[in-house]
Structure formats: structure tokens, C-alpha cells
Amino acid sequence: MEEKTYKNRWKILAVVLLSPLMGNLDSSIVNIALPMMSKHLGVEINSIQWVVTSYLIVISAFVLIFGKLSDKFGRTVIFNYGFLIFGLGSFLCAISQSLSFLVFSRILQAVGAAMYMSANQSILAIVFPPNERGRALGLLGSTVAIGTMLGPPLGGIMVQFFNWQSIFIINIPISIFAFVAGRFILPKEKIDRKASAFDLKGALLFMISIIALFWALLKGEDLGWGNGNIIISFIISILCGLSFYFTEKRVEDPVVDLSMFKNKLFDISILCAFISFAALFCVNIIQPFYLQDAMKISPATSGILMMAIPISIAVVAPISGYLSDRLSGEVLTVLGLFTMSIGLFAMSFLNANSNYIHMAVSIAIIGVGNGLFQAPNNAIVMSLVSKDKLGVVGSINALVRNMGMVSGITFSVALLYNRMSSKMGHKVNGYVNGRPDVFLYAMKIVYITIGAICILGMILTVMRIVNEKRQKRLEINNN
């Protein structure tokens, strides 16, 4: 690494932080504008939801592919042009006059977002030395939380005082600034003109598998898990996933080097990242129903209470990153998962008589746990591979985050309605008016279940630490 890159590393960080800010801001800001979009375009709510789901599915399908391309052809190039494409997609969203064109524009936005998301962690892993890497990744985690937190209130203000198009127009100058700043500030990379051919077959199989899987997960509750289209989609995902696995074992330069998964620490870290985001988004989807339907709290107050999670993450993540540069990152990941489980178990005690303090503290504890976990876990994952694989590994982190989000939402809603149906004695697909006890019973089971899964992730990490120490002692004794 050139010396000037080290000197500029905090400026580089400032540019890189625009990527999680924009990606997560644009993901959360759209939800609040959906009703107005629906009226303006003359479509139903179930159709306008594709504005949200298409964005999430496309990012998940492309982020790993761009991670591989960034390792082959330059992380800075992929990062910079990602903002250019994101800005173009935002412009097209703003001028959309039909749902089909708006969804197309969101897909273009998502391709751009996948590009810069695939490269941000790997850029930081390269320009920051190991003793500062955790702090940089912690600030990245804080920016994810800030982008998520700013979305709903900023979107509400812009929709109320301007129009729904304004939430996309605001992206354009920021995208141009990020592109220009990236061209001047981000590190220049030497591109290997003799790089081996890109694994196109593996990339296509992976994309089809992810698109089919995410579509089935996101539409399963609406259409019914026994619906023929849902079943076919799952079958396609499995078949393409298996084909992808065997393809990657044969090709010279695969999209994903499967040998990475022979490292137990890598596997457990990825699994725990999945668990942490599944738990977080379980709360994000269930808690608003509890606050607004069971407790009859206004949407504005509910939103303020829910902000306890991103605020906690934004505060704790940089501190955790700083500590991970000096202490054992694995210990912090264990502590983070344990804290999340405490918050989830505390949430299971919420009832019709709970006060605001109980609600806010329980929610904040989950945010603290997630903030403790993310930076050291990301730093561990990024430290386990060579520099030529950092783009793919950073993309795996982003993909696992999205998979955790979707799986957490899907699992928690399915379990919630299953337990509510069991209590009512017939199928339930929503909140039962006049029966808060039914919802509270099911919510309690959901939070206890997710809390137990966090404990399982913590136990696996502890077992791995204990086994590693035992192995080191045996090596010392044998020598």
C-alpha cells in the first residue's frame, strides 16, 4: 500500500461512508412514500410494494457478483461507477409516470447500490491497518444505522412539503459528489489485464437462485406457502444453488472460492451475522404491530420508540470497533449476541400494561447488542482472507445481512400468525381486532424463539474459542 493512501485514509473513509448512508437511506425512505406513489400511479398497495422488494432482491442478487468483479478489475472503479448508476436510477425514478418504469428505475438504482456496497468494506480493509480497521468498520456500521434512522422522518418531511419524487431527486447531487470525490480521493489500483475469464455461468446460476429464493420468501405469506408458484420458486432456487456449488468447484477462477468455508471461524462468523440481522428485523417487523395495534400508540410515538435501535447502534458500533482493535473481537461478538438475547427476552415480557420505559429500554438493549457485534465480526471475517478476495468477502457480508433481514421478517411473521391461528382455532393472517391477548401470546413466543437462536450462535462461538485454546495448549505441550 502506498504511503499517501495511509495518509488519506480518513478522507477515504469519509467518501466510503456515503455508500452505506445512501444505500440504507434509500431503502428506508421509500416506505413512507408508498401510499402517495400508489395514488399518483393509480395502482394498489400490493403492486406498489414491488418498488421496495425489487430494490432488495436485485441488491442481493448482484452484490456478490460485483464483489468478484471488484477483486478482478478494481474496487475503486466498481465503487465510483456504482454511484453514477445509482444517481441515474434516482433520476429515472423521479420522472417515472408508470409503475413498470418506476420498478425498472429502482432496479437500476439497486444495481448501482450493489456495486458500491460490494466494494466499501474491502476498500477500508485495504487502506486501514489492522489496529484501526475495527474502528473504521464500526463507523461503517454506525452509518448503516444512521441511514436507516434518517429515512422515515426525512421521507415524511419531503413527501409532506414537496412530493414523492423529491425523495429520489435528493440522491442525484449526493451521487455526483460521491463519484467526483471518489475519483480524486480513493486509492488508485493496478488492474490485472491478464486476469482470467469471469465465471459467467456461476454468476447467472447464483443470481437466479437468489432471485427465486428472495421472491418466494417475500411473497410466501401473501400467496400462501403451499402456493404452486412459491413451491416452484423454491425448487428453482435449490436446483440453481446446487448447480452453482458444483460449478464453483470445477472452474479455475470461481465467483466464490469455496475453500474459504473450510475455516470454522469464518463459517461461524457468517452464521452469527445472519442470526444477528434476522433477530434485528424480527423486532423491526413485529414491534410496530405491538405498539400501534395492541397498545394503541400513535405512529409518530411508535416511530420515536423504534428509533432506540438505530440510535443505540450508531452510538455503540464505533466504540465496539475501537475496542476490537485492542481486545479480542470474538469476545465482543459473544457479548453482542448475549446482549441481543437479553433484549429479546425482555421484549417477551411486554404486555398490555407495559410502560414506555420498559419498551424503549428493551428495544435499545437489542440495538446495543447489534452494535457490539457487527464491527468486530466484520473485522474477523475480513482478516481471514487474502487481499485478492476482500471484495467477495465484503459482498458475502452484505448478502448475509440482506438474507438475515428477509429471513427474520419471513420467519417471525410466519411464526406469529401460526401461533395466533393456534390460539384462535382458525387461520389468522393479521391482527385480530379486540383480541390483543392473542397477539401478545404469539409475540412472546416469537421473541423467546429468536432470543434462543441468538444464544445458540453465542454458544457456537464460545465452543470455537474454547476448542482453539485447547488446540494451542496441545501444540505447546507437543513442542
pLDDT digits (tens, 9 = 90+) for 94-120: 898 888 898 899 999 999 988 888 888
Q: Determine the pLDDT at residue 475.
A: 63
pLDDT tens string 176-197: 988 888 888 887 766 665 556 6
422 is written with which cell numbers? Answer: 393456534
What's the count of helices (H) and strands (E) in the chain, helices before strands? Answer: 20, 0
Of 198, 176, 12, 170, which Cα lies nearest the Cα of 93?
170
At 1, is the pLDDT very low, low, confident or very high (cuts 50, 70, 90)? very low
Decide if 54 contacts 100 (C-beta within 8 A).
no
* Cβ–Cβ under 8 Å, residues 24 and 148: yes
Asked whether the beta carbons of 72 and 193 are under 8 A apart, the reply is no
C-alpha Rg value of the chain to the nearest Å: 22
Which pLDDT does position 108 carry in this prediction?
93
The C-alpha atoms of residue 10 and residue 256 are separated, in whole angstroms, by: 30
> φ and ψ at 437, to 5 degrees?
-60, -35
User: d(Cα 71, Cα 255) in Å, to the nearest integer?
Assistant: 10
Residue 151, pLDDT above cutoff 50: yes
State how far the Cα of 115 lies from the Cα of 127, in Å rounded to an integer: 19
Q: What φ, ψ does residue 287 adopt, rounded to 5°?
A: -60, -40
Which pTM does this prediction carry? 0.79
Give the amino acid at 441. Answer: Y
- As a whole number, the mean pLDDT across the chain is 81
> What is residue 457's predicted lDDT score, i.e. its pLDDT?
85
CB-based burial of residue 56 (10 Å sphere; 0-12 exposed, 13-18 middle, 19+ buried)? Answer: middle
pLDDT attached to residue 437: 84
> Looking at residues 81-91, what average pLDDT do you find?
91
Q: What confidence tier does 3 reach under pLDDT thresholds 50, 70, 90?
A: very low
Question: Can you tell me the mean pLDDT for 221-247?
Answer: 88
More confident residue, 43 or 335: 335
Q: How confident is the model at residue 359 (pLDDT cuts 50, 70, 90)?
A: confident
Q: 273, 403 in Cβ contact below 8 A?
A: no
Give the total residue count for the chain.
Answer: 479
Q: At residue 366, does pLDDT exceed 60?
A: yes
For a pLDDT cut of 70, what percent of the chain falls above it? 90
Confidence of residue 478 (pLDDT cuts 50, 70, 90): low
From first CA to last CA, the distance across the chain in angstroms is 37
Residue whose cell numbers read 421509500: 30
Predicted local distance difference test score (pLDDT) of residue 2: 42
* Residue 92: pLDDT band with limits 50, 70, 90: very high
377 with 266: CB under 8 angstroms? no
- Measured at the CA of 307, the angle between CA 304 and CA 308, to 5 degrees, comes to 110
| Mean pLDDT across 251-280 | 82
Give dist(CA 429, CA 303) in Å, integer.
24
- Angstrom CA distances, 261 to 16, 76, 202, 453, stand at 28, 26, 17, 22
